[in-house]
């Protein structure tokens, strides 16, 4: 089946179309007999980043991000359909023969009454192009920034209604987990229990997965998320936004350890018995250290590189320690990572090494680097699993956002 997925939970406008087949049978007991191999083809994966807009603020401005989603959604959908070879211009016969067109357009306006910009453009788009051969629409409803989520949800509701395509809602965190099945051996009953670590710009959570669909949060950040910590400390150091990749780039240049540049930042909560995180203390430590730094040293590239290497290592140390602790405490068989920060090369490398050394019998799942940060492929995959599980469309009229949606 072809799935068109939409993701607007933060500052990236993402639409993807995938072709999904097979049963997630090893995962769902009731389908176990029909074991067709799970397979996903990515037909398109468009991510329109708003980085340039939010750069000057060093973080995402929700109202501005919402406005940009409204501007981006139709061009991004057009690109996704074109890339998937699913776009066709409507013939005039369609417009003449579609008697309900006017009343449908009236209803569209109602659905999009809070999305003024989209509302103005969508009618022309839907009249210009034919209904694409898509079987399901998957849409992220949370967690995320509520104004941004609403734009995506309203857009998904509008096209689901106009084209009469089934629709299914997706949890953003689960999508970060489910994207791990691409190009990898699917999980089976034997792989549970698993522990998942989600580290992104908005979330830092460790949870236990006893089986598919059975989640329990073990710990989460008490203040800033790991990605947020990268973004904020990068801003203190005068680096680019988003901060994660900028800090990783600088850290990678710091090859030779030099005592002249010896810097040590705290690893907050690393030795506590719980699975919680706190990254705001790390941010404050960076701020104080930088304030006390002489002007001469601030201009020294190597010093900034040393700072970045230490910030990155502090985040990695805490992430690994808490995850491995959960893995050992719960005698888990699999570790699953997800979220933008897992694109970090050093984090990926050190996780692999530590697991091999400390818990060699465990499996490690890390998403393909290109699918760690927000994208709609992950929404399409999570949508497919949910579709197979509940087996029916949700009612587009009833779909709402859930900015604080939990995993359980
Ligand atoms: O998952 P994501 O795209 O969005 C959220 O759902 O939050 O994560 C974005 C976060 C940003 O804070 C960014 O700085 C961080 O992921 N990030 C990285 C890297 N690439 C993105 N952090 C560390 N190293 C990276 N290579």
Domain ranges of the chain: 2-176+373-398, 190-367
Q: What is the pLDDT of residue 97?
A: 67
CA of 47 to the centre of ligand 1 (A): 14
Q: Is the preceding peptide bond at 143 cis, omega within 30 degrees of 0?
A: yes
CA of 344 to the centre of ligand 1 (A): 8
Q: By the 8 A CB rule, do 226 and 204 touch?
A: yes
Q: Mean pLDDT throughout 210-238?
A: 95
User: Which stretches of 164-294 are DSSP H helices?
Assistant: 172-178, 226-236, 243-253, 280-292
Q: What is the pLDDT of residue 258?
A: 74
Q: By the 8 A CB rule, do 276 and 222 touch?
A: yes
Residue 33 has pLDDT above 80, yes or no: no
**CA nearest to 228, candidates 204, 267, 248, 201:** 201
Place of tokens 């329109």: 48
CA of 282 to the centre of ligand 1 (A): 17
Which has more confidence, 185 or 292?
A: 292
Out of 48-57, 147-156, 323-332, 378-387, pick the least confident. Answer: 48-57
Ligand 1 nearest-atom number relative to CA 227: 12
Q: Which residues line ligand 1 (CB under 6 A)?
A: 10, 200-202, 227-228, 230-231, 242-245, 248, 339-341, 343-344, 373-374
The band of 30, judged by pLDDT with boundaries at 50, 70 and 90, is very low
CA of 95 to the centre of ligand 1 (A): 44
Q: Whose CA is nearest to atom 7 of ligand 1?
A: 201
Residue 205 has pLDDT above 50, yes or no: yes
CA of 227 to the centre of ligand 1 (A): 5
pTM of the model: 0.94
CA of 155 to the centre of ligand 1 (A): 25
The band of 96, judged by pLDDT with boundaries at 50, 70 and 90, is low
Phi-psi region of 208 (alpha: psi -120 to 50; beta: other; left: phi over 0): beta
Distances (CA, A) of 340 to 66, 188, 197, 260, 333: 20, 26, 11, 32, 24
Ligand 1 nearest-atom number relative to CA 375: 3
The band of 407, judged by pLDDT with boundaries at 50, 70 and 90, is confident
The band of 27, judged by pLDDT with boundaries at 50, 70 and 90, is very low
Q: Which of 11, 141, 200, 366 to mutate to test the pocket of ligand 1 (most atoms within 8 A of CB)?
A: 200
Residue 29 has pLDDT above 80, yes or no: no
Cα torsion at 188, 134, 369, 352 (round to 10°)? 0
Residue 312 has pLDDT above 50, yes or no: yes
Q: What is the pLDDT of residue 224?
A: 96
Residue 241 and residue 253: Cα distance in Å, rounded?
18
Q: What is the pLDDT of residue 278?
A: 97
Distances (CA, A) of 200 to 172, 203, 278, 374: 11, 5, 14, 9
Phi-psi region of 85 (alpha: psi -120 to 50; beta: other; left: phi over 0): left
CA of 244 to the centre of ligand 1 (A): 6
For residue range 351-375, list pLDDT tens digits in order.
999 999 999 999 999 999 999 999 9
Q: Mean pLDDT throughout 5-17?
A: 97
Same fold, 2-176+373-398 and 190-367: yes
Ligand 1 nearest-atom number relative to CA 172: 6
Q: What is the pLDDT of residue 93?
A: 67
Residue 302 and residue 250: Cα distance in Å, rounded?
9
Task: Look up the CATH architecture of domain 190-367.
Answer: 2-Layer Sandwich (3.30)
CA of 245 to the centre of ligand 1 (A): 8
User: How high does pLDDT run on average in the chain?
Assistant: 93
Other CB atoms within a 10 A radius of the CB of residue 294 amount to 9
Q: Mean pLDDT throughout 131-142?
A: 97
For residue range 76-93, list pLDDT tens digits in order.
999 999 999 999 998 776
Instruction: Give burial (CB, 10 Å; 0-12/13-18/19+) of 44.
Output: buried
The β-bridge relationship of strands 214-220 and 334-338 is: unpaired
Q: What is the pLDDT of residue 34?
A: 45
Ligand 1 nearest-atom number relative to CA 9: 6
Ligand 1 nearest-atom number relative to CA 339: 1
The domain 2-176+373-398: what is its CATH number?
Answer: 3.30.420.40
Distances (CA, A) of 36 to 20, 42, 387: 11, 19, 16
The band of 166, judged by pLDDT with boundaries at 50, 70 and 90, is very high
Out of 95-109, 304-318, 323-337, pick the least confident. Answer: 95-109
Q: Mean pLDDT throughout 16-36?
A: 67
Place of tokens 């994660």: 244
CA of 284 to the centre of ligand 1 (A): 20
Please report which helix (H) or strand (E) contains residue 386, including its range: helix 377-390
Order across the sheet with 214-220: list the strands. 214-220, 204-211, 194-199, 334-338, 363-365
Distances (CA, A) of 191 to 187, 334, 363, 401: 6, 6, 8, 32
Residue 324 and residue 24: Cα distance in Å, rounded?
28
Q: What is the pLDDT of residue 255?
A: 82
Q: Mean pLDDT throughout 95-114?
A: 86
Q: Which of 141, 199, 230 to mutate to test the pocket of ligand 1 (most atoms within 8 A of CB)?
A: 230
Please name every residue paired with 364 in a beta bridge, in sequence order, or none if there are none. 335
Q: Whose CA is nearest to atom 8 of ligand 1?
A: 340
Residue 122 and residue 16: Cα distance in Å, rounded?
19
Q: Which of 197, 227, 241, 311 to mutate to test the pocket of ligand 1 (most atoms within 8 A of CB)?
A: 227
Q: What is the pLDDT of residue 101?
A: 85
Q: What is the pLDDT of residue 72?
A: 98
């Amino acid at each position: 089946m072809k799935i068109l997925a939409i993701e607007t939970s933060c500052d990236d406008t993402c639409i993807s179309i995938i072709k999904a087949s097979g049963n997630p049978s090893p995962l769902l007991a009731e389908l176990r007999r029909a074991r067709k191999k799970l397979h996903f083809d990515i037909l398109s994966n468009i991510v329109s980043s708003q980085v340039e807009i939010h750069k000057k603020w060093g973080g995402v401005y929700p109202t501005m991000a919402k406005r940009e989603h409204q501007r981006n959604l139709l061009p991004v959908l057009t690109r996704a359909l074109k890339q998937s070879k699913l776009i066709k211009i409507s013939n005039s016969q369609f417009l003449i023969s579609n008697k309900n067109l006017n009343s449908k357009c009236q209803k569209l306006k109602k659905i999009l009454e809070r999305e003024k910009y989209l509302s103005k453009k969508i009618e022309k788009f839907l009249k210009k192009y034919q209904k694409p051969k898509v079987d399901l629409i998957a849409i992220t409803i949370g967690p995320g920034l509520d104004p941004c989520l609403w734009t995506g949800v309203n857009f998904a509701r509008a096209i689901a209604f106009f084209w009469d395509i089934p629709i299914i809602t997706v949890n953003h965190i689960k999508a970060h987990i489910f994207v791990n099945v691409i190009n990898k051996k699917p999980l089976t009953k034997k792989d549970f229990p698993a522990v998942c670590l989600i580290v992104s710009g908005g979330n830092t959570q460790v949870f236990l997965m006893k089986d598919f669909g059975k989640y329990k949060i073990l710990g989460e950040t008490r203040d800033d998320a790991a990605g947020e910590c990268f973004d904020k400390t990068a801003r203190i150091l005068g680096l680019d936004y988003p901060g994660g990749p900028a800090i990783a780039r600088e850290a990678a240049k710091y090859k030779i350890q030099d005592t002249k540049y010896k810097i040590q930042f705290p690893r907050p909560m690393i030795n506590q018995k719980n699975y919680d995180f706190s990254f705001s203390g790390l941010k404050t430590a960076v701020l104080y250290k930088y304030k006390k730094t002489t002007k001469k040293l601030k201009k020294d590239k190597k010093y900034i590189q040393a700072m970045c290497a230490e910030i990155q290592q502090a985040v990695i140390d805490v992430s690994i320690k808490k995850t491995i602790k959960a893995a050992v405490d719960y005698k888990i068989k699999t570790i699953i990572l997800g979220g933008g920060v897992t694109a970090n090369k050093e984090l990926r490398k050190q996780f692999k090494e530590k697991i091999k050394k400390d818990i060699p019998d465990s499996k490690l799942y890390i998403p393909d680097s290109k699918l760690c940060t927000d994208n709609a492929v992950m929404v399409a995959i999570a949508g497919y699993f949910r579709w197979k599980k509940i087996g029916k469309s949700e009612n587009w009229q009833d779909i709402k956002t859930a900015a604080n949606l939990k995993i359980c």
